[in-house]
Chain A
Amino acid sequence: MRRFTLIAVPYLWLLALFLVPFIIVLKISLSDVALARPPYAPHFDWATGIWAFLSELDFENFVWLSEDDLYWKAYLSSLKIAFVSTVLTLLVGYPMAYAMARAPEEWRATLMMLVILPFWTSFLIRVYAWMGILSNEGFLNQFLLWTGIISEPLTILTPNTAVYIGIVYTYLPFMILPIYAALERLDDSLIEAAEDLGCSRLTAFWLVTIPLSKTGIVAGCFLVFIPVLGEFVIPSLLGGSDTLMIGKVLWEEFFSNRDWPVASAVAVVLLLLLIIPIVLFQRNQQKQQEAEQ
């Protein structure tokens, strides 16, 4: 009985904060737009009963999603942006995590602090700061003009690069921390053993360090990929009109169009898309735990 109460708490939590809202969203996605408040129909009515209510729900909005190419283009473009920025974050984050794990022990806490520190100021301010540095009239261009390396300001901040810079910058700690955790546990004598058995530094890195930090890499990639797929703030702040991401489409559908049912359908499809990487992520974590036992 005590065990039951103990596990009941997280289950109630999930039920109240995840399952119930999801069912509400799912229900809205199956409804039709209505000039009412809230702007959709039907509503459940005790007088007509449950069957009358259910018979009015349909998959019209999902059919609509598949017919209008805006939506699947937005999904594809989100997938592409999420994939590319995950790779970029990995390329930037891995060397940083490696350097942190290789740093003298007394330095590691400080370096970790430096990775986490930017989180303490507002994300918006940091993104605007980047825009201040990278824009046509920004510090970087002014500095380059001043040194005489360039005579015309460079356009670094095309909307797409700006989005990538914003995403990589924002999600870097999510990549660094799991990789760092994996690398820090790595026994130095394994690298020495690899060298002793005939590996050069580089092959030892490739054959021992990379495979042994694989769980960290996979965890980091999912921690970046999953939230970036539904990212809304960064593309709407830094991106231009041609930066197509599903998070932005969803926002516009909801607030500009006031088409709650279609917006809900977009959200449901996004969730289904995300389930695949989330399940893969869970399996990776589970495998890691098994390996540790």
Chain B
Amino acid sequence: MTIPVFEPWNDPEAKPLIQFQNVSKRFGDFTAIDDLTIGIYEKEFFALLGPSGCGKTTMMRMLAGFETPTEGAIFLAGQDMAPVPPNKRATNMMFQSYALFPHLSIWENIAFGLKREAMPKNDISDRVDEMLRLTRLEKFARRKPHQISGGQRQRVALARSLAKKPKLLLLDEPLGALDKKLRQDTQFELMDIQEKTGTTFVIVTHDQEEAMTVASRVAVMDNGKIIQVATPDRIYETPNSVYVADFIGEVNIIDGIATPTGEDRYSIAWKEGQAPLNVTSATAFSDGQKCHLAIRPEKVTINAEEPSGVDNVVQGKILDIAYLGNISTYHVELPSGAVIKAQSANTRRISRRAFTWEYTVWLSWTATAGVLLAT
């Protein structure tokens, strides 16, 4: 059985639903969005990820129509959106604060958008009931927003924004106010609902785990620019810059000088007194070029004895252990002073673990484990 792969971004025939064309947005001297071009496809769950102030919320507000681009144009289904006011757009937004109308009941909140269209009363009622079922809120229809919990409010906000069957749903930090456990459950709920309704979702978040979990593609932003757009696994495994590697998950960044040693193979000279590292890289580096090796802690193996037959091995002393329950992260200090993080699963009980503070250990990794980055 073959599962059809959903990747319209690799299909040259596919037309994006949303097209940003050289969009810039400036507030006075401050540039929030800097010459940004990107396409988002139909039925995608697209995540905008970045630290606060990177411009991700501005991008979303431009899609909703609350901000207009200073330069460039945004197209929705081929139509230039600049002259279209927010109330005439086929987009709906789920606000960070949920923005539920406190004077209306849950039912009326969900019906609010439908009543603005000349929709027959019965259809409105059917649609609201359908949304209540979808978000499992049937029991709370008559309550006011302040009479329900945070998680329920979040679902009301979602139901309200989905009720009008928008072409595009915008979610502004939708799960920010929920505690971790509820957040995780809701993430899967969101994915379910997105699949069921087939709506295109654009989510803004600063939580990389959330972006990785829900999104079909993630755009990592910094200072009004998109640094990388890719599927979550590619963002994690093959970041295109130190910024992305560092922003997503934990990483060891080793600065060095590259020397080609064969096809796609390089030897990296780094700290003095340390043997050069052997790595492979699909991107080409010239002789003597400065480079950064990004390697994830879980791809570094920690050994009590010196291993043989491995591409890279360094010796060091355990400086710190971050015990996370299922895994532990070991901070290992090399004789040169550099600290490398290695992660291993805690398959044995803590009292029986093989290493503890001050132990001398060997760290090893393969030539393909890391990514060699120029910037």
Contact = CB atoms under 8 A, between A and B. Distances in A.
Interface in B92-140: 92-93, 95-97, 99, 101-103, 112-113, 116-117
Interface string B61-104: 00011100000000000000000011101011101110101110
Nearest to B170: A196
B99 A199 contact: no
B86 A190 contact: no
B160 interface: yes
B97 to A, nearest CB: 5
A291 B101 CA distance: 13
A194 B112 contact: yes
Contact of B87 (A198, A207, A208, A212): A198
A197 B95 contact: no
Interface string A199-216: 110010001100110100
Contacts of A197: 87, 92, 112-113, 116, 160-161, 164
A187 B87 contact: no
Interface in A171-220: 187, 189-190, 192-200, 203, 207-208, 211-212, 214
B103 A198 contact: no
Interface in B154-169: 160-161, 164
Given A195-B86, A197-B92, A197-B160, A190 B116 contact: no
B116 A196 contact: no
Contacts of B103: 211-212, 214
User: Which among B102, B160, B164 has the greatest number of chain A C-beta atoms within 10 A?
Assistant: B102
A195 B97 CA distance: 16
B102 A196 contact: no
Contact of A192 (B86, B89, B161): B86
Given A193-B93, A197-B164, A212-B103, A203 B66 contact: no
A265 to B, nearest CB: 43
Nearest to B117: A198
A198 B116 contact: yes
Interface residues of A, number: 19
Contacts of B91: 196
Interface in A202-254: 203, 207-208, 211-212, 214
B76 to A, nearest CB: 14
B92 A187 contact: no
A212 B99 contact: no
Contacts of A194: 101, 112
Interface string B193-223: 0000000000000000000000000000000
Contacts of B101: 190, 193-194, 208, 212
A189 B164 contact: no
A212 B116 contact: no
A159 to B, nearest CB: 42
Contacts of A203: 116
Nearest to A190: B99
Contact of B97 (A189, A196, A207, A214): A189
Given A203-B116, A208-B101, A212-B102, A195 B95 contact: no
A196 B146 contact: no
A196 B89 CA distance: 8
A194 B117 CA distance: 13
A192 B99 contact: yes
A275 B294 CA distance: 77
Contacts of B102: 212, 291
B200 to A, nearest CB: 16
Contact of B99 (A189, A207, A211): A189
Given A197-B113, A212-B101, 17 more contacts: A187-B97, A190-B99, A190-B101, A193-B101, A194-B101, A194-B112, A195-B86, A196-B65, A196-B91, A197-B92, A197-B112, A197-B160, A198-B117, A199-B87, A199-B116, A211-B103, A212-B102
9 contacts: A187-B99, A190-B99, A192-B93, A193-B95, A196-B89, A197-B87, A200-B87, A208-B101, A214-B103
**A-B interface, 5 closest residue pairs, ranked by CB to CB distance from nearest:** A197-B113, A198-B116, A193-B99, A189-B99, A195-B86
Interface of B: 64-66, 85-87, 89, 91-93, 95-97, 99, 101-103, 112-113, 116-117, 146, 160-161, 164
Interface of A: 187, 189-190, 192-200, 203, 207-208, 211-212, 214, 291
